[in-house]
Chains A and B, each alone.
Chain A
Amino acid sequence: MILSRKWLNEFVDLGDVSDKRFNDEMTLSGSKVETIEREDAEIKNVVVGRIVEMVRHENSDHMWVCQIDVGRDAPIQVVTGAQNQKEGDLVIVALDGADLPGGKHIAAGKLRGVDSNGMCCSCQELGMTEHDWPYAAADGLFVLQTDPDVMAKDPKPGDDICKVLGCDDSVVEFEITPNRPDCLSVIGLAREASATFGRPLRLHTPEVRGCGGSIAELVDIEIEDGELCPRYTARMVKNVRIAPSPLWMRERLRASGVRPINNIVDITNYVMLEYGQPMHAFDFSCVEGGKIVVRTARGGETIQTLDGKDHALTENMLCICDEHRPVCVAGVMGGANSEIVGDTAMVLFESANFNGVSVRRTAAALGMRTDASSRYEKGLDPMNTIQAVERACELVELLGCGEVVDGVMDVIAKDQAPTVLRMEPDKVNAFLGTDIPAAEQYRLLARVDIRTADGSFPDGPADVLVPSWRGDVRALCDLAEEVARFYGYNNIPDTLTRGETTRGGFTDAQRFERAVGATCRALGYDEIITYSFISPSYYDKIRMPSDSPLRRSLKILNPLGEDTSVMRTTILPSMLEIVTRNYNYRNQSARLYELGKIYLPRADGLADEPKVLALGAYGDEIDFFSCKGAVEAILREAKIADVRFEPRTDNTAYHPGRCAAVYAGEKALGVFGQIHPLVSLGYGVETEVYAAELSFEALWEARGGKPEYVPLPKFPAATRDIAVVCAEPVTVGALEACIRDAAGGLLRGVELFDIYRGAGILPGHKSVAFSLTLRADDRSLTSEEADATMKRIVADLEAKLDAHLR
């Protein structure tokens, strides 16, 4: 809502309140000021001038050299290229050093060798149009004598042009919350300003003289659906004379961001701005059958709206119709078929109340949100229609643009009972944490016209009547807000939340989550955040089998686009997308992790939303074993026992020879390995990419408890290195398991330190070297004992795995 402060002053005298103070106090009472701007902020040193003398420029066939009286001792010389002026004309002169809208600065200089000490201006150069100044030349200087309203102000040479043209207003843009459609009007904001500043509100009751006749004989109004149109009020004007509206009206419209058009259209806009009640004016000669029917559109009906666009109407759209056809989309925009034109003679003013949701849906469906529809959609006060139509007719008479036919058509299809609420001051204080005396609370409410029946300010509970325009006030908590608003939110004390002491704190699972993240970071992995929705085509991108149950994902019916249209059932594509982006940005390497949800559809339509820890990496020092090392570190930090790795050849997203499933005992924790080259190439990544997907829930369930101290060894250990040659298919894991089995109680550690293939080793074989640590807890081992153990190990390796000492 854009408000002219000059207009506001008509209802509440705030002439002495600075823009800054107005801004602050209105904002703190709930009418949030977004911006406040002076209309003349960009115009400086621009004055009225009288052309005293005008001669042809000596070096130009179209320029004029003017001597202009700007209220100084002597005229100044200004060169102009305009042609529509003559000696004696009052024109607009930007003096040397003047500022004009758009950051334009005027300085004295020479034009084709002749001194020019300023510039004569058109209204466009002042940032205005011929809509603001209908009498001004469309192409040329604004000669003030052409506009009778301007001349009525008796402008003199040297007068500040902003005052003369009335663009010396402060324009305030408010953010009005959707519960306060009453504040989308000058009067609504005047009520708030009056309550905020504690100054009297001066409302005006429209008076219409009328010219006789009877509207009832001219038009018949019928409402078919009272839910969609609770009230329809209309008055008729005859002998209409279409002309520009007067300057004062154009000024206010312009300040409010509305383009002046002609007197009748301007009146409807003016009343909408003043009262917050959208108005519509029909050329009554175009309303066939003298009949207005408020009904939903019939199948196949169409309308061309005032903006020249054709629309097909659907059966849930409310329309204003004549006997045969729609002439207006209710609350949205009028039809071109009944538009006010130059020779309109009879006008029907509509001031109606429509269902907000219906108007909003119609406007949205037609793709045309208008000033009217944006007011209607929030739900307007049905009691406002009469005053608004009366005001419109009063203005018709004031402007002398027609004769108002006697009588008002006012069809009320649905009555609205006034709201009476029980005010309980003690409860309000208890709710707000304040100690405001009861009578004071009633006084604060009275500021916004919420009053007891007898206007008193009692000491205890009482019934209060809520005015019709405050549809948002429906319960005691709403009254509490009104009290708080004018008591001042910032005058309410600050206390820390009282009551029963609560334990609070993170849960064990939340602490575990933090610890897992810390481990990932210690391993050099950066945290990422990815979208929960993906494209269904991403399942193909990771080569997910066509029969995989994970392809069944929750599908958004109205997605922004294909790329964000299904809820992911795997986190891998999200990770690969970020890996790819970093690769494309030519980042040498990346190690990334995310602890994110996947969304598995449930029978009830909702989703299981388990968390998955995803790792992704490529580049420097990244290979299968660095990836595995990261997974192992995470499991170790989680104190997960009985960890096993099994090769996985069947996960189609991963390299069949470089993929492992991880288990804790029999519990599957997840999978990791190199992303299948076809997948990474599909993403455009021409290097090895590694990833891991670990179920957070499984990690949590497999986690170890608090460790128990194991005494440090008192006796020295013996170390023995062993290298065996075995066939290629024998895994390190199998060799290690065999060593452990054979060693008996003295073995304390087995560490792989070399795998060798090449000279001295048969093809298809490898040499694997381990370092073994042997120790007894109760004595120093003798070398005989150690040798005996090694013997058993060597024997078992030979016997079970055909692995021989090298």
Chain B
Amino acid sequence: MRQQLEAIRAAAVAAMESAADTEALEALRVQYLGKKGELTAVLKQMGKLSAEERPVIGQLANDIRAKLEGVIEKRAGELASRALAARLLAETVDVTIPGEARRLGRQHPMYQVLDEIKDIFIGLGFEVIEDREVELAEYNFTKLNVEEGHPAREWSDTFYFTEDSSILLRTQTSPMQIHAMETRPLPIRMIAPGRVYRKDEVDATHSPMFHQIEGMAIDKGITMADLKGTLNTVVKSLYGEDTVTRFRPHHFPFTEPSCEMDIQCYKCRGAGCPTCKGEGWIEVLGAGMIHPKVLEGCGIDSSVYSGWAFGFGLERLALGQYKISDLRLIFENDVRFLEQF
């Protein structure tokens, strides 16, 4: 019987270790270890053995069963990992095939720039205000120290709704200064972006509708140094910390002193190139100390309060930031243009 058992063990181990797949291994398990298996069949003959032999052979049979179970487990593991490897290989994808398109919409490039500017000023403790576009000449001009007879008030420059030139499409965001001064408590720190309108034919640099951003701070003791400091901070946030700026005297009816702010050309660093038209500098905005007449006209005591204001065109800024060559693209809204930003 001992020989019988040893023979079974040898044959079973050899067959199991070379089983080709899980099914074959399972068939071998049944063949040797199943209820009707070969090992069981031998054990059924145990009754014929002597009392001394019985525990010895029983022990041997159990050892063989344990051994075979170990072999099966090991072989099953081998076969499983081989099968997994084959499956993974079969599942290989071409990673260069494009992903499923999930097209997100785009914010208009000009409003992306506007949001950036709003965020900068919000960080400085400013508010963002909006106001009407159909405006009184009184707010668009008179209260801004632009007197009757000023060229900007001509019908050739401004769109009017009434024959007496009293109601118009605002030509600048500056009337929002007046609304803010008249309605908001002091101190005021605000920016006011919006659409403005001038009678310009459409071309690469003009549009009858465009956008400006107005900024204003009024408080006790506001100085021109504050204006410079604030604008320098903002421009550096917008154009980079290493931006070089300069302020030039200029003229606006509603500020005095007035200035324009230039940045050194980012392309040529001031040497002069086509981008800056050889000047080395690029004009970015107009600003100044709010004219005392304007403050007084809004009921603010100019001997106690002072303020600064600035304004600039959003289109030109966006065109410069994105190197867009033609203003018409801004209002054309071609999706092939929009999706670039």
Interface residues, chain A, with chain B CB atoms under 8 Å away? 27-30, 32, 35, 177-180, 356-357, 360, 364, 377, 430-434, 472, 475-478, 480-481, 484-485, 489-490, 492-507, 510, 514, 517, 520-533, 554-560, 564, 567, 578, 581-582, 585, 587, 590-593, 597, 599, 605-607, 609
Contacts and interface: CB of A to CB of B under 8 A. Distances in A.
Contacts of A364: 154, 156
Contacts of A581: 332-334
A505 B119 CA distance: 9
A632 B293 CA distance: 52
Contacts of A592: 333, 335
A32 B251 CA distance: 11
B228 interface: yes
A35 to B, nearest CB: 8
A634 B152 CA distance: 43
A322 to B, nearest CB: 29
A142 B333 CA distance: 57
Given A480-B256, A527-B108, A557-B160, A504 B224 contact: no
Nearest to B188: A502
Given A28-B246, A431-B223, A528 B228 contact: no
Nearest to B225: A433
Contacts of A434: 224-225
Contact of B338 (A32, A506, A527, A564): A527
B339 interface: yes
A498 B332 contact: no
Interface string B162-196: 11001101000000000000000001010000010
A463 B313 CA distance: 40
17 contacts: A30-B250, A32-B250, A493-B229, A494-B232, A497-B189, A497-B222, A497-B227, A499-B217, A503-B125, A504-B124, A525-B105, A527-B111, A557-B155, A558-B159, A592-B333, A606-B134, A607-B133
A578 B333 contact: yes
B289 interface: yes
Contact of A477 (B169, B227, B257): B257
Contact of B225 (A492, A514, A530): A492
Contacts of B189: 497, 502, 504
A475 B145 CA distance: 13
Given A179-B251, A180-B251, A528-B338, A498 B226 contact: yes
A528 B108 contact: yes
B339 A526 contact: yes
Nearest to A596: B195
A335 B206 CA distance: 36
A558 B153 CA distance: 13
Contacts of A377: 151
Given A498-B221, A499-B219, A582-B335, A524 B257 contact: no
A502 B184 CA distance: 13
Contact of B105 (A178, A526, A529): A526
A556 B160 contact: yes
A605 B249 contact: no
B247 A528 contact: no
B107 interface: yes
Nearest to A520: B105
Contacts of A510: 128
B212 interface: no
B336 to A, nearest CB: 6
A1 to B, nearest CB: 14
Interface centre among A27, A481, A495, A521 (most CB of B within 10 A): A481
A560 B224 contact: no
Chain A to chain B: the 10 pairs with minimum beta-carbon distance, closest first: A433-B225, A433-B223, A30-B249, A499-B219, A481-B257, A177-B251, A521-B105, A357-B149, A494-B229, A504-B125
A559 B251 CA distance: 29
Contact of A505 (B122, B278, B334): B122
Given A431-B224, A560-B201, A560-B208, A477 B161 contact: no
A498 B118 CA distance: 20
Given A582-B335, A605-B167, A607-B132, A593 B105 contact: yes
Interface string B103-142: 1111110110001001001101111100011111000000
B248 A27 contact: yes
A585 B334 CA distance: 8
Given A497-B229, A533-B209, A605-B161, A492 B224 contact: yes
A401 B223 CA distance: 57
A492 B287 CA distance: 15
A557 B133 contact: no
Contact of A485 (B128, B154, B249, B291): B249
